Amino acid sequence: MTEHTFHIPVLGTGFSIDTPLKVAKYGISSVISLVDDVLIEQMRKFYCEKEGEPYEPIGYQEEKARARRITAYLDLLNRLVQKQVQALKNTLFEYGSEITKYFEMLPPSKLKTQYLHMLKEKNPFKKKAKQEALREVIKPGSIDVNIMTKVDRDRYHHGERLPNEYSDASMALEGFAKSSLASSVVLSAGFNPRLYNYFTQFADFFPDEQGEVKKKIILKVSDYRSAEVQGKYFAKHGLWVSEYRVESPINCGGHAFVNGGELLGPILEQFRQRKDELIQKLRDLYDKSIKTVKSYLPDRIRITAQGGIGTHEEHEFLLKYYQLDAAGWATPFMMVPEVINIDKAHIQKLINASESDVYLSDSSPLNVPFWNLRTSASEMARQERITKGKPGSICLKQAGKLFNTEFTQEPICTASCQYQQLKLKQLQKAALTPELLQIERAKVLNKSCICHDLAGNATLTLGIDAKATPAVCCGPNILNFKKIATLKEMVNHIYGLGTTLLTNKERPHMFIKELMLNIDYLKKEIKKSSVSLSDHVSQKFDEIKENLLKGIEYYRELAKEFIADQQQKFLESLERLQLELEGIPSSSAITSI
């Protein structure tokens, strides 16, 4: 592991698809998405041509093309990063050099102290020796990958479903497993037994003779129970989960797996209090299952968190109070074009975005709330198609062809032209009231093609596709970052090294913002369900409200850990939000209206 206490999580499919080439040489870890192998193949061609590497296309119809494309791209990234690191090591310790940038961006640490001692050394021979010692300890950041476990389309050949190993998620896993990377796979979006079983087919996920694991498993979770259940499943198969990456269920970018009013603080508190218990439970299962390498006895796991972090103070509090190993910063990096792919027009859209422009939408074909930018080219194109009477998108990449077989034998994507036109015709014939018809039509028309349009951030920016209409999946935290920054400026902001990039002086604490988002979500869901509020739905709303009130009580106690000048504002916000929450009527009051 490197010295850095932050990582850059996956940002859509296109934003961070080549981020390792921009940050890994500085010891910063980042995550790329493996959803879109068409984009991955385009990126491999682009960088092979740019770097003078040989390029042999892997055609879509070739055997296991998806897995082979992913392996080839990851191998390319690995080679290029290794070259970058070697070149960095060979630069001089002088102002503005790559090696100086590497050490200047480190947080306070033993290695940073070692570097500062070198700078103060007057003896030229000792200084040279200290510089050589520093060169030896330089390590690149990890090139990690993300697999959305639910984006696992079955593959068909001549109408026959292919075996499980040909499914999209399984092919992504195989692509990573067969790559030369020594890094981690981040699993998100829930439990997928058939994918998890496939891990056992690849030796790199098991310890070698020295007890080292080349490819590690990271689970992105939104609660403690999910971590325990999934961790146990892996342990029973002789696989050890190295890290649990806890993400705010709602204060994040992309898909928001809203979790019944459970809040990040109380969730992290469970990990803080029960981490040793979790390790022991998993080790007991693991020790029973592992048979080939007796020496490998894992004695620790990493716990990290992400979602809505915006200040150095929040970053440090999470690390120290909850005893985290690191924290993820995603949305703020959308203001750092040096690190991610975003064209000038969309940077300006983000700078100009109002609170209503960044909204929790129904856009995703996964039927999971999705953070969206209302002014993105993708959203404008979707609205234009509706206006012209041609709703839906042409299904170019078909990653969303997962669940819906309402009109077809094989699943089709609910954002596609095919589905939306069939569904709208069905609704028109149904005996619905005008109000219900409008609601149901909106549900259909809100779906948009995020698998293709999220790639547009890369293909448009790099000149691969001049006609791309990018989608933007920023979280609400983007409203606090309104100016373009360099990588070094963002790193300094994270570590509190004299630079602050916040442009919203009234920005609420990340825990307060998450609470606000949950209350807004609850109100909107009640309003949407008011037409037909069943007992089951109303009980769910009561449960959310109760969990939020419990969260407020937890935060009241937590505020005692804050420095004095933060406590009052935090407690005042809690009081105001509790009053707002208590003003939401109970289910019995709603159903009696």
pLDDT digits (tens, 9 = 90+) for 314-362: 999 999 999 999 999 999 999 999 999 999 999 999 999 999 999 999 9
**DSSP assignment letter at 255:** B
Stated as kind and residue range, the H or E segment containing 84 is helix 65-89
Residue 367 inside a domain? The answer is: yes
Measured over all CA atoms, what is the biggest interatomic distance in the chain, rounded to whole angstroms? 88
Tell me, yes or no, whether 520 and 456 share the same domain: no
* Structural domain count, the chain: 2
Please name which of 584, 344, 289 lies closest in space to residue 461, comparing C-alpha atoms. Answer: 344
pLDDT digits (tens, 9 = 90+) for 433-452: 888 899 899 999 999 988 88
Q: Per-residue pLDDT for 586 more than 80?
A: no
432 and 523 share one domain = no
- The pLDDT score that the predictor gives to residue 288 is 87
Angle CA 555–561–562, to nearest 5:
90
In this predicted structure, the answer to whether residue 505 has a pLDDT above a threshold of 80 is yes
SS3 content of the chain, % helix, strand, coil (to 5): 50, 10, 40
The predicted structure's pLDDT at residue 316: 97
pLDDT of residue 11: 97
484 within a domain of the structure (yes/no): no
Residues 415 and 514 in one domain: no
Identify the pLDDT of residue 533.
Answer: 53
Lowest mean per-residue pLDDT among 471-480, 513-522, 530-539, 541-550: 530-539
- Is 485 strand, coil or helix? coil
> What confidence category does residue 236 fall into, taking pLDDT thresholds of 50, 70 and 90?
very high
Q: Residue 406's pLDDT is what?
A: 86
Q: Which of 447, 471, 495 is the last residue of a domain?
A: 471
Give the model confidence (pLDDT) of 474-491 as tens digits: 999 999 999 999 999 999
**Residues 6 or more apart whose Cβ sits within 8 Å of residue 180:** 74, 75, 78
Rounded Cα distance, 513 and 536, in Å: 28
Please check whether residue 156 is in contact with residue 194, taking contact to mean a CB–CB distance below 8 angstroms. Answer: no
Same domain, 374 and 447: yes
User: Is the pLDDT at 400 greater than 80, yes or no?
Assistant: no
Q: How are beta strands 358-361 and 370-373 bridged, if at all? A: antiparallel
569 and 461 in a single domain? The answer is: no
Give residue-wise pLDDT tens across range 92-103. 999 999 999 999
Same domain, 460 and 529: no
Q: Which two three-digit tokens encode residue 61?
A: 């119809």
Which pLDDT does position 473 carry in this prediction?
Answer: 96
**Domain boundary residue among 422, 456, 471?**
471
Give 566 or 47, the one with higher predicted confidence: 47
Q: Establish if 532 belongs to a structural domain.
A: yes
467 and 551 both lie in a single domain: no
Is residue 363 a contact partner of residue 447, using CB atoms and an 8 Å limit? yes
Same domain, 457 and 567: no
- Of the pLDDT bands very low, low, confident and very high (cuts 50, 70, 90), residue 402 is low
Per-residue pLDDT of 266-320, as tens digits, reads 999 999 999 999 999 999 999 888 765 555 666 789 999 999 999 999 999 999 9
446 and 366 share a domain?
Answer: yes
pLDDT beyond 80 at 590: no
Residue type, 298: P
pLDDT at 539: 78
Chain centroid to CA 108:
26
Q: What is the mean pLDDT of the chain?
A: 93
Q: Using 50, 70 and 90 to split pLDDT, how confident is the model at 531?
A: low
8 A C-beta contact, residue 31 and residue 9:
yes
Distance CA 577, CA 582 (A): 8
Kindly state whether residues 453 and 514 are assigned to the same domain: no
Instruction: Using DSSP, state whether 400 is helix, strand or coil.
Output: coil
**Is pLDDT above 80 for 2?**
no
**Does the residue 592 lie in any domain?**
yes
Dig out the tokens for 321 from the structure. 């109070």
Q: Which domain holds residue 404?
A: 343-471
User: For 155-210, how does the pLDDT look when each residue is reduced to its tens digit (9 = 90+)?
Assistant: 888 888 899 999 999 999 999 999 999 999 999 988 999 999 999 999 999 988 88
The pLDDT score that the predictor gives to residue 534 is 55
Model confidence pLDDT, tens digit, residues 569-584: 999 999 999 999 999 9
* Out of 284-293, 419-428, 551-560, least confident range: 284-293
pLDDT, residue 160, reads 87
Q: What are phi and psi of 253, to 5 degrees?
A: -105, 170
Residue 312 belongs to a domain: no
Asked if residue 81 is part of any domain, the answer here is no
Tell whether 495 is covered by a domain: no
488-502 in b/e form (b: 16+ CB < 10 A) is: bbbbbbbbeeebebe
Under 8 Å between Cβ of 30 and 19: yes
Residues 464 and 538 in one domain: no
**Per-residue pLDDT at 376 exceeds 90:** yes
Any domain includes 110: no
Strand partners, 412: 404
